[in-house]
Structure formats: structure tokens, C-alpha cells
């Protein structure tokens, strides 16, 4: 017995080659064997015959090769002459006879005699030895040759004979009687199946593509495991510019099919009657999930032709009703489009849309065909596209919804009121994609709509927070809509009026009297405003936000309203411009931490499930700001980092509240990596919050600016603070302008300006009433002044912060107060430091996992997690050990030896004054927490 192991280039064929081996073994013991190899187009019959030739040659057979051909099918004995020519040595790679070979023509002698005579030139051993005849594409062999082969195997003789013939499934030529006799007379049938996922992975590995298991399964689904289709995908992308393996399939499918594949598929289709080709083209156009009956109606086929065509395609391994394998049907579609021409192809799309719509198919399928048809091709085109756009928006596919609506607009003349209504729908779809286009389309829609109520409804649908960033044109639209909307008892008109009021007030927030006016209006609504509708929640949110920004509304009242609002507003709402965007900012400033945190957690998760990346970024920025205000800096850093990594550019002007969240965390932590990304994201902001963001960006620049340039930059910073204050950005919780500016002023020694700014901010903090904000401002003020006044301010800071859940600010105040008491020779410092140390221990536990993260930025350090006492490596080792990792775990994570970790631990023990791992862990935890107390403390203030 001999091995049947497949050659390296053949995959998933071990069992099939074993069948060939068994047939060869039987032939050698005197039993002539005929084996037929079947398989769909592209499955690798020729490659299998090559491998089989190697197997039988190794068993001692003389191998003769022949190939059927469409072009030679009408030539009598063409294949038989190929075999005799090979036997005589012409063109046969096994045999190299001296001299010129004899004429391989057929002289009427018996096939066995002719074959023996041809082989006799090689000597008696070859002439009387075992012979294997390999015939590829036997379905195209001429009928006399097939008869000659049949006679060869019927002729008595003692020499072993083996016939391996390959027949393509589904080819009409395979139905010829002579071919059927060949298949029916076979002793063995070897059916080549599609490749498995492992076979596809092995095939791609030979082309230097390493796929994970899940991606290999995706390739199998796309190609049906057909080797020719797998190869065609690889041929579409160049080896040097090839994308990552995970993206390779999508990248290849986005490119046209290579010409060799198109030629093979076109040739296969051309061998079938015209009804089969039409049926295939229409199936490809419908793109799957279509019954044979529907495909046939589109192709104009009767019931008989439908059954014949469907059966013919399925014989090829092509599933027309499901369009599987997809890669093949993509190619059929390309061939069909070229065959029909643009006008006929468009008409076919129109007919497909009509048929699908009449049969109740999903709107998305109908819309796909309408997108390929010119205007006026189908009466309900616009409404179908609008409904399809609504479905796409519900699925989170906003870009697709916009495409549908843009196409629908082509159905209407320029001055049509219906066009105005579709422009309004398009604007609504654009709210999370392109705010500037939204405002432009709203303006165009208003010019076409006939009634004041319709025009007001369009303006009222403009996302709420866009009003704050809107252009003067948008402000005029809102004012005009309010002016034309007559008072009415109609509840719908009342709701419309509330929505317009919210937008008008938000658009006019820059007026100096806007905060006081908003507070007065909120008082008119009563102590517990009606929040049962979206319009009323929008109005209340705007009024509360205006009072918060100007610092005119007490924080306790804002916190109460935020709780009521968030209880009524669904966190899974898809838009980032709802009333909650404002209420989250107000509630965060007012220390309504629990309802804000719970709402944002749900919103982040919901946005991730929907695949709504932009909304998720907004919610991450909001959650970072909320965590920062609560003193959870590790969580704030994580959310800000994730938001920066997920955004693909700067945030839009309408997202300035998201930018504020990122900037607030970056200014607080001074982390190099986060600072760089926050500056890039916020630099282009020109929206309503630009004055505040400008202060934050300048504060980040001063932190890294040398002393030679600091004076001019600090002057610019102070001027920006005063401009923002003059513009009404007074809330010290959301906009701690003096707090952001103090470190730069202290570096310059300009205590006087720092005191002036912080004193104003303290007055506003007292008016606002948030304990964390007031306590922080008092602490900073206390570090700027000497003597008993400093002790008074710091004592008040500690007392105020005991009323706040922000333990970080409390610990900072405790440490600052303790240091001043100790410096003044007063008692009580030890107790304060002990309390701060306890907070450090608790905070450090939450920070340890971030201590263990690798550094970011060019310096390789993480500002948030760094410490002057430990190097980057020591910090990471200490963090991992404190998290419970073994030395071996630490070594593997850091990619160093275990001995290197042990040496680092020895240094840590010595530097931190501990003798064991158990003693190290609490010390490291306290260092991580205490290190956080220095963030946000003005330089030199301690």
C-alpha cells in the first residue's frame, strides 16, 4: 500500500484521494477500475486530478492525460488522439522517447492494440504494465473518443487499467448519452465537496494570510468554500497593499470581480439556454431571499422554463433563491449589468421594485431598487423611500436613511409643498450626522410649506441643543415661527409652542438678561413643573440650564429638577440633542450624582448596542464630566480616554458640551496623552461654548509652556477668563475659570490676579450652593493667602466638603488644612492627615488597575498615574502586584524575565520601607490615592 497524503497545495481532499488509492490498488490486482470525479465549477477537479496523478504514478502506473474542450468537441477522436500522442511521447511529461514519435492517428485497430503499439516504444515492461488514463472535463470530450475509451476497458487483457475522469456538475454537455454512460459505468464516484473553514484557512495561509477561525467561517459563507472563488477574492487585492486579515474579506468584496472569474462564470452561463441566463441575471439583481416564482416573473419565464432554469442553476451548486454563494452571485450581477446596458438595467430595477412592493417584501429591498431608477419610474416611489428611511433610522442606519430621502426629493418639482415636507424629513434624519445641512434643509423646507403651523412644526423639530450653536439665520427662523404661530386651544399647538419657546430661549442664551428671565419663567411653571411631554421637558431643561449657566438658580433646585427629568426621559433615546443633554450638564453641576450616573450608564450601554458611535462618544464625554465632578478621577480618565480613541476627528460645534467634558478632565489631570487628544478634539470648536473652551485650552498650554513664553500666554488666559465671564458663563462648577487659571498665575508669581479671580469665583460658588464647588474654591483661596485668614478659609472648606460625596476634594482640603496647621504650630494636623490617609487608601484601590496600564504619549508616562517616588516600571510592577498578580504573571504582562520582576520588587521594598508583599500592597494603595490629592492643587500652594 502507498500513502494517500494530499500535496501541500490541495486541502480537504484526504478522503477523496484515499478512494483513488483504493481504486489503484484494486486495478493492480487485476480488476480494471473506472473512477468518475464530480464537482461544481471551481471546486478544483483539475487540481485534484493533478494530485491523483502523483498518487497513481507512485503506485507504478504509467499516466496518460487528456482534456475535453468545448472547441474540440466536434472533432472525432480528438481526446483519443491526445491519449495516444501522450503514450507515444508527444507532449507527455512522464515519457521522453528518443527520436520522433509515431503518428498517433487511429487506424481502425482495437483501442488496446493501438495503445500497446504506442507504448511499445518504451519497451515491453511499459507496454504490458499498468496504465492510468486521466481525463479532465470529460463532459466536453467528443463522443467517438468516449466510445473508444469504453471499448478500451471492454477489451480483454491482463494489464492493469485505471480510468479517472472528471465531470463538471450541472453542465448541459454532461447530459449527453456518451457522458452519462461514462458516469453510469464508473466503479467509484468521487464527489468533491466545498472546502471547510479549516481548508480555507490552510489555503489562505499559503498566500501569507493568517485568518482567525471566525473570519475563516465568514470566508466560507461568502464563497461557499469554492477554491476558485477564494482565489478570486485574493486576486482582487494586491499583496503589498493588502489590508489586515480581519478587513480583507470586506475590502476584496468592495472591488469588481477579476476578469478571469468573470470569464469562467460567463462561459458557464453561455453553455445554458437563454432562459437559464435570464433567470440567473434576475436572481442576481434581486439579491437573494426571492422565490423562484418572483424571479421567473421578473425574467418573463413561464412555469416550465422557470423549473428548468432553477434546476439547471442548482445543479451547478448556485442557489438562485438565496444568491449563495454571495461572491459568485456578485459576479453574475456584474455580468448581467454589462449584458443589459444602462437603460435596460434600470428598467429591470424598476420592474423589480414594482414586483417586490406588490408582493409585500420589506421596504428596504424595494428601496434598494428604487435607488437605481430615475424619477417618475414608480408612482409610490417617494412614500416607499420615506418609509424605508424611517425603518433605517430605527435600525440606527442614519446615512442610509439620508440617501433614501435625497433620492425621494427627485420625485418632486422644485416648488412643490410635498418637496418641503420631504426636506423636513431629510433635516430630521441629518440631526446626528450633519447639523449644518439640517439647518440648510429646514430653511429650504419653510420656504415651500403653505401653512404657519407646518412651518412652525419644522422649526420645532430642530434638535434642541442645536439652537445654542445655530447661526443667526436659524435664530431668525425660530423667531419667525413663533411669531406666525397663533395662540390656540389645540393641545398640539400648545406643545408646538413649548418646543419653540425652548429653542428661542436657548438661542438667546447669550443675552445678559437671559438667566434671570429663565429663572422667572421657571418660577411661573410652579415648584414641580409639568414634565409629562417631550416639549415640556425640553422647555424645563432649557430654563434650568440657563439658570445654571448664569448661576442664578440654586443648585438644590436644579438637582431636584434633574431627578424628575431623568426619571421621565428614556436613557435609550437615540438622539444626542434631547433635553437630557442639557439636564445632564445641569445635574452634574448641582451634584445630582446618582441619577446622572445611572442614566448615563444606561445611555452608554444602549448606544453601544445600537452601534451608534457618535451618541456613545457624547455619553462617554458626559459620563467623564460627571465622574470628574464626583471626584472619581480614575473613571473620568477611562471614559475620556475611550471617547478620544473612538472619535475620528473633532467634535461638531453642536457638541460643545461633550468637548467641555473632555477638556475638564484633561485640565484636572494634566495627563500628556489625554491633553494632546483633548486639544485636538476641542481646537476647532466655534459653538456657543467657545469662550469657556478657549480658557481650558489656554490652561492646558500654560502647563507645558516654558517661562520665557508664559507671561504673554498667561495674559491671554486672563483676558479669556474675563471675556467668558462677561458673556455670562458664571457657573463655577461647570466653568471653573479661576480654578483653571490659578496654576499658571502662581508660576509667574502673580498672586494678586489669582486672588482677584478666585474671590469672584468664590462669590459665585456661594450663590450656586454646591458643596464640592464651594469647598474647592475655598481651599484654593486658602492656599493663596497667609496667616489666620488662610486657616479660616481652609477650615470652612473642610466643613463644607463634609456635606459633599466628593471625597477627593475633601481629602485635598484636609491635607491643605493640616499642612497649614502644622506650619502654624497648631494642634489637630495629625487627625486631619489620618482622615486623608484613610480616604487615600480607599481611593487607591480603585486606581490600582490604571497604575498597571502601559504609559501613553512620547514620554511613556501617564500623568494621571505617575508619581515622583516611583519610576514608570516600578509603578506598573507595584500596581500589578497590588492587584494580586504573581511574579510570573507580572513578567508575562511586562514581557520581561521573572528575575527582572524580583529585582524590581527588591528595590520597591527598600524604597518604600517594607519587607514583604503583604506590607507592600496597602502602601502602594495609599500612594496611588494620595498622589491623586496633588492633581488640581495649584503649584506651590501646599
CB 354 within 8 A of CB 370: no
Q: Which fold has domain 13-98+119-191?
A: Rossmann fold (3.40.50)
CA atoms within 13 A on the CB side of 874: 20
Residue-level pLDDT at 2: 37
DSSP 8-state secondary structure symbol assigned to residue 1: -
Q: List, in order, residues 6 or more apart from 24 with CB less than 8 Å away.
A: 33, 55, 56, 59, 61, 132, 162
d(CA 868, CA 572): 43
Rounded to an integer, what distance in angstroms lies between the CA atom of residue 732 and that of residue 591?
13
Please give the Cα distance from 248 to 253 (Å, whole number): 9
Give phi and psi for 166, each to the nearest 5: -105, 130
CB 170 within 8 A of CB 312: yes
Tell me how far apart the alpha carbons of residues 487 and 817 are, in angstroms, rounded to a whole number: 60
Q: Dihedral of CA 530/534/535/541: which sign?
A: positive
In the block, cell 416639549 appears at 535
Name every residue whose Cβ is closer than 8 Å to that of residue 749 and which is 6 or more positions away in sequence. Answer: none
Strand 188-191 to strand 33-39: parallel, antiparallel, or no bridges (unpaired)? parallel
Q: Phi, psi at residue 877, to the nearest 5°?
A: -60, -45
CB–CB of 80/149 below 8 Å?
A: yes
**pLDDT averages per 10-residue partition of the chain, 942 residues:** 45 93 90 91 93 93 91 88 79 40 54 73 72 93 90 79 93 92 92 93 88 90 93 79 80 89 92 94 90 93 94 91 91 93 90 91 91 79 92 86 94 92 91 80 89 84 70 69 66 81 83 88 88 88 92 92 88 66 91 93 89 86 93 87 80 76 88 84 70 89 88 93 89 93 91 94 94 95 91 95 91 89 88 85 69 46 45 81 86 86 88 85 77 55 44
Q: Of 188, 362, 215, which Cα lies nearest the Cα of 290?
A: 362
SS (H, E, C) 460-529: HCCCCCHHHHCCHHHHHHHHHHHHHCCCCCCHHHHHHHHHHHHHHHHHCCCCCCHHHHHHHHHHHCCCCC
Q: Are 102 and 88 in contact (CB under 8 A)?
A: yes
pTM for this predicted structure: 0.67
d(CA 790, CA 758): 14
Q: How far apart are CA 659 and CA 653, in angstroms?
A: 9
Residue 815 in contact with residue 892, Cβ under 8 Å? no
Query: Burial letters for 681-700: b for 16+ Cβ neighbours within 10 Å, e otherwise?
Result: bbeebebbbbbbbbbbbbbb
CA distance 619 to 602: 10
Which residues fall within 8 angstroms of residue 395, CB to CB, at 6 or more apart?
Answer: none
Buried b / exposed e across 770-785, counting CB within 10 Å, b at 16+?
A: bbbbbbbbbbbbbbbb
Question: What is the residue-wise DSSP string for 52-81?
Answer: HHHHHHHTTPEEEEEE--TTTTTSTTHHHH
In this predicted structure, what is the pLDDT of residue 939? 45
Long-range contacts of 5-10 (CB under 8 A, 24+ apart): 6/51, 7/50, 7/51, 7/54, 8/206, 9/47, 9/206, 10/44, 10/47, 10/48, 10/51
Q: Cα separation of 579 and 742, whole Å?
A: 34
Q: How many CB atoms lie within 10 A of CB 333?
A: 20
Q: Which residues pair with 161 in a beta bridge?
A: 131
Spacing of C-alpha 465 from chain mean position = 27
Backbone angle region of 787, left / alpha / beta, with phi > 0 → left and psi within -120 to 50 → alpha: left
- Please write down the HEC assignment for all residues of 144-170: HHHHHHHHHHHCCCCCCEEEEEEEECC
Contacts of 848 (CB under 8 A, 6+ apart): 879, 882, 883, 924, 925, 928
Count of other CB atoms within 10 angstroms of residue 394: 11
* SS3 category, 35: strand
Length of the chain: 942
| Residue 340, CA distances (Å) to 4, 278, 312, 343 in order | 48, 10, 22, 8
Report the C-alpha gap between 539 and 520 in whole angstroms: 13
How far are the Cα atoms of 82, 89, 192, 361, 673 from residue 98, in angstroms, in the given order?
Answer: 19, 9, 39, 71, 77
Q: What is the Cα–Cα distance from 828 to 42, expressed in whole angstroms?
A: 86
- Label the pairing between strands 161-168 and 188-191: unpaired
CA 327/CA 226 separation, integer angstroms: 10
872-933 is classed in which CATH architecture? Orthogonal Bundle (1.10)
pLDDT reported for residue 98? 39
Query: Position of cell 477523496?
Result: 16
* Location of C-alpha cell 476634594: 809
Q: Record the cell numbers describing residue 700, joined without a space.
A: 492646558
Burial code (b: 16+ CB inside 10 Å, e: under 16) for 728-739 equals bbbbbbbbbbbb
Q: Report yes or no: 778 and 793 within 8 Å, Cβ to Cβ.
A: yes
DSSP secondary structure string, 597-613? HHHHHHHHHHHHHHT-H
Residues 6+ apart with CB under 8 A from 121: 88, 89, 97, 101, 102
Domains in the chain: boundaries: 13-98+119-191, 197-255, 465-483+497-611, 770-852, 872-933
- Residue identified by cell 468573470 is 262
**Bridge partners of 191?**
38
Grid cell digits, residue 792: 479660616
The pLDDT value recorded for residue 911 is 82
Q: What is the CA radius of gyration of the chain?
A: 40
**Contact present, 355 and 378 (Cβ < 8 Å):** no
C-beta atoms surrounding 69 within 10 Å: 16
Amino acid at each position: 500500500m502507498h500513502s494517500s497524503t494530499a500535496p501541500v497545495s490541495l486541502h480537504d481532499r484526504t478522503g477523496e484521494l484515499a478512494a483513488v488509492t483504493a481504486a489503484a490498488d484494486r486495478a493492480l490486482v487485476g480488476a480494471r477500475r473506472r473512477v468518475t470525479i464530480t464537482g461544481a465549477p471551481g471546486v478544483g477537479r483539475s487540481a485534484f486530478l493533478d494530485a491523483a496523478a502523483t498518487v497513481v504514478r507512485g503506485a507504478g502506473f504509467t499516466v496518460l492525460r487528456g482534456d475535453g474542450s468545448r472547441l474540440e468537441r466536434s472533432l472525432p477522436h480528438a481526446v483519443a488522439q491526445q491519449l495516444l500522442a501522450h503514450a507515444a511521447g508527444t507532449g507527455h511529461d512522464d515519457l521522453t522517447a528518443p527520436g520522433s514519435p509515431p503518428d498517433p492517428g487511429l487506424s481502425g485497430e482495437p483501442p488496446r492494440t493501438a495503445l500497446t503499439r504506442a507504448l511499445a516504444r518504451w519497451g515491453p515492461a511499459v507496454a504490458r504494465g499498468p496504465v492510468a488514463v486521466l481525463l479532465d472535463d470529460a463532459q466536453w470530450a467528443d463522443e467517438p473518443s468516449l466510445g473508444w475509451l469504453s471499448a478500451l476497458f471492454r477489451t480483454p487483457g491482463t494489464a492493469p487499467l485505471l480510468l479517472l475522469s472528471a465531470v463538471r456538475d450541472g453542465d448541459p454537455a454532461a447530459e449527453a448519452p456518451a457522458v452519462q454512460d461514462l458516469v453510469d459505468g464508473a466503479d467509484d464516484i468521487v464527489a468533491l465537496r466545498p472546502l471547510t473553514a479549516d481548508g480555507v484557512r490552510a489555503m489562505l495561509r499559503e498566500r501569507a494570510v493568517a485568518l482567525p477561525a471566525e473570519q475563516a467561517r465568514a470566508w466560507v459563507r461568502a464563497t461557499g468554500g469554492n477554491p476558485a472563488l477564494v482565489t478570486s477574492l485574493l486576486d482582487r487585492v494586491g499583496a503589498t497593499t493588502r489590508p489586515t486579515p480581519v478587513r480583507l474579506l470586506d475590502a476584496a468584496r468592495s472591488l469588481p470581480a477579476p476578469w478571469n472569474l468573470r470569464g469562467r462564470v460567463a462561459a458557464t452561463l453561455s453553455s445554458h439556454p437563454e432562459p437559464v441566463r435570464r433567470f440567473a441575471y434576475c436572481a442576481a439583481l434581486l439579491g437573494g431571499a426571492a422565490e423562484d416564482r418572483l424571479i421567473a416573473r421578473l425574467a418573463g419565464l413561464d412555469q416550465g422554463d422557470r423549473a428548468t432554469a432553477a434546476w439547471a442553476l442548482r445543479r451547478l451548486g448556485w442557489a438562485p433563491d438565496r444568491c449563495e454563494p454571495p461572491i459568485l452571485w456578485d459576479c453574475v450581477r456584474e455580468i448581467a449589468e454589462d449584458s443589459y446596458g444602462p437603460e435596460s438595467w434600470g428598467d429591470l430595477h424598476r420592474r423589480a421594485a414594482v414586483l417586490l412592493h406588490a408582493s409585500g417584501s420589506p421596504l428596504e429591498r424595494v428601496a434598494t431598487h428604487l435607488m437605481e431608477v430615475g424619477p417618475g419610474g414608480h408612482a409610490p416611489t417617494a412614500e416607499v423611500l420615506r418609509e424605508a428611511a424611517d425603518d433605517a433610522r430605527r435600525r440606527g442606519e442614519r446615512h442610509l436613511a439620508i440617501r433614501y430621502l435625497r433620492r425621494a426629493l427627485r420625485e418632486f418639482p422644485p416648488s412643490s409643498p410635498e418637496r418641503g415636507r420631504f426636506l423636513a424629513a431629510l433635516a430630521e434624519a441629518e440631526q446626528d450626522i450633519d447639523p449644518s445641512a439640517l439647518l440648510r434643509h429646514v430653511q429650504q423646507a419653510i420656504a415651500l410649506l403653505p401653512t404657519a403651523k407646518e412651518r412652525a412644526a419644522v422649526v420645532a423639530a430642530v434638535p434642541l441643543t442645536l439652537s445654542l450653536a445655530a447661526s443667526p439665520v436659524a435664530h431668525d427662523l425660530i423667531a419667525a415661527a413663533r411669531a406666525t404661530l397663533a395662540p390656540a386651544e389645540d393641545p398640539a399647538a400648545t406643545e408646538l409652542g413649548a418646543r419653540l419657546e425652548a429653542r428661542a430661549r436657548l438661542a438667546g442664551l447669550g443675552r445678559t438678561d437671559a438667566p434671570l428671565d429663565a429663572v422667572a419663567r421657571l418660577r411661573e411653571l410652579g415648584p414641580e413643573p409639568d414634565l409629562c411631554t417631550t416639549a415640556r421637558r425640553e422647555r424645563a431643561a432649557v430654563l434650568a440650564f440657563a439658570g445654571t449657566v448664569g448661576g442664578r438658580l440654586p443648585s438644590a433646585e436644579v438637582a431636584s429638577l434633574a431627578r424628575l427629568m431623568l426619571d421621565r426621559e428614556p436613557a435609550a433615546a437615540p438622539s444626542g440633542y434631547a433635553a437630557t443633554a442639557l439636564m445632564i450638564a445641569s445635574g452634574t453641576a448641582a451634584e445630582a450624582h446618582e441619577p446622572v450616573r445611572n442614566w448615563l450608564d444606561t445611555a452608554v450601554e444602549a448606544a453601544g448596542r445600537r452601534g451608534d458611535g457618535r451618541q456613545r462618544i457624547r455619553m462617554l464625554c458626559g459620563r467623564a464630566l460627571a465622574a470628574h465632578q464626583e471626584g472619581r478621577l480614575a473613571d473620568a480618565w477611562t471614559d475620556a480616554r475611550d471617547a478620544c480613541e473612538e472619535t475620528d476627528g473633532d467634535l461638531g460645534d453642536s457638541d460643545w458640551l461633550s468637548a467641555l467634558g473632555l477638556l475638564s478632565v484633561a485640565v484636572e489631570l494634566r495627563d500628556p496623552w489625554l491633553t494632546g487628544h483633548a486639544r485636538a478634539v476641542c481646537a476647532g470648536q466655534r459653538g456657543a461654548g467657545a469662550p469657556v473652551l478657549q480658557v481650558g485650552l489656554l490652561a492646558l498650554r500654560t502647563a507645558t509652556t516654558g517661562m520665557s513664553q508664559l507671561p504673554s500666554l498667561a495674559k491671554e488666559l486672563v483676558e479669556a477668563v474675563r471675556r467668558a465671564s462677561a458673556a455670562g458663563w458664571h457657573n463655577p462648577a461647570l466653568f471653573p475659570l479661576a480654578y483653571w487659571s490659578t496654576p499658571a498665575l502662581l508660576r509667574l508669581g502673580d498672586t494678586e490676579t489669582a486672588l482677584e479671580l478666585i474671590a469672584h469665583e468664590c462669590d459665585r460658588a456661594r450663590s450656586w450652593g454646591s458643596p464640592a464647588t464651594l469647598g474647592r474654591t475655598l481651599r484654593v483661596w486658602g492656599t493663596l493667602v497667609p496667616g489666620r485668614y488662610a486657616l479660616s478659609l481652609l477650615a470652612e472648606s473642610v466643613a463644607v466638603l463634609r456635606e459633599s460625596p466628593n471625597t477627593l476634594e475633601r481629602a485635598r482640603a484636609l491635607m491643605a488644612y493640616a499642612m497649614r496647621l502644622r506650619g502654624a504650630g497648631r494642634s489637630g494636623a495629625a487627625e486631619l492627615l489620618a482622615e486623608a490617609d484613610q480616604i487615600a487608601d480607599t481611593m487607591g484601590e480603585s486606581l490600582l488597575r490604571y497604575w498597571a496600564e502601559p504609559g501613553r504619549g512620547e514620554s511613556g508616562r501617564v500623568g494621571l498615574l505617575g508619581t515622583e517616588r516611583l519610576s514608570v516600571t516600578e509603578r506598573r510592577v507595584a500596581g500589578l502586584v497590588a492587584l494580586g498578580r504573581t511574579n510570573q504573571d507580572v513578567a508575562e504582562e511586562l514581557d520581561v524575565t521573572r528575575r527582572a520582576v524580583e529585582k524590581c520588587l527588591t528595590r520597591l521594598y527598600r524604597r518604600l520601607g517594607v519587607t514583604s508583599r503583604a506590607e507592600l500592597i496597602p502602601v502602594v494603595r495609599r500612594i496611588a490615592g494620595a498622589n491623586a490629592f496633588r492633581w488640581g492643587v495649584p503649584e506651590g500652594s501646599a
